[in-house]
Amino acid sequence: MVLSDRVTIGAFSVLIVQDDVSPNAYKGSYLSIGTGTYIGEGNNIRAAGGQIRIGANCLISQYVTIVASNHNIKSDQLIIKQGWSKENNFVVINDDVWIGAGSIVLPGITIGTGAVIAAGSVVTKNVEEYAIVAGNPAKFIKYR
């Protein structure tokens, strides 16, 4: 985990960086947060089984979930024993991004510089630079 200068993390936020311990599992989980980024209260940021990179000067409001990986879901064994998928096991949030309260950013997503994610959105697709998106799933509204 790398926290740059002037990073603020609100109370009751959870930051997890954890590799899977099962054989042949993903190794290299990583979380970095850029200079001047604010992370509000009660957030859940999980770089478990993948990598999350949050840029500089971002605003991440309260109760936001950012997840780097999904569990494998083969039907021939218990999900809890399968470990994390190695596909799309990353999230990239570029500089100057604002993520509204209660939003969820799913694995395999890149959010472009200057984008705004409206409160309560579920981000299932990449977000263009300076785009404003909203909803579940998040859809393009307009540019800043």
85-97 pLDDT tens trace: 889 999 999 999 9
Tell me the mean pLDDT in the region 109-113: 98
User: Cα–Cα distance between 45 and 128 in angstroms, integer?
Assistant: 22
- Asked if 66 contacts 91 with a C-beta cutoff of 8 angstroms, the reply is yes
Predicted local confidence at residue 91, as pLDDT = 98
Predicted local confidence at residue 137, as pLDDT = 98
Identify the band that residue 80 occupies on the pLDDT scale cut at 50, 70 and 90. Answer: confident
- Containing structural domain, residue 115: 2-143
| pLDDT tens sequence across 24-37 | 677 889 999 999 99
38: three-class secondary structure by DSSP = strand
- Is the confidence at residue 23, as pLDDT, over 70? no
Number of separate domains in the chain? 1
99 contact partners, CB below 8 Å, separation of at least 6: 58, 59, 60, 61, 64, 93, 105, 111, 117
Does residue 62 carry a catalytic annotation?
A: no
> The domain that contains 126 carries what CATH number?
2.160.10.10
Predicted local confidence at residue 85, as pLDDT = 85
79: three-class secondary structure by DSSP = helix
Tell me the mean pLDDT in the region 1-10: 96
Tell me the mean pLDDT in the region 99-106: 98
Which residues in the chain belong to E strands, given as ranges?
2-3, 8-9, 14-18, 30-33, 38-39, 44-48, 51-54, 59-60, 65-67, 90-93, 98-99, 104-105, 109-111, 116-117, 122-123, 131-134, 139-143
Beta-carbon count within 10 A of 140 CB: 13
Identify the band that residue 84 occupies on the pLDDT scale cut at 50, 70 and 90. Answer: confident
Catalytic residue among 6, 18, 71, 135: 71
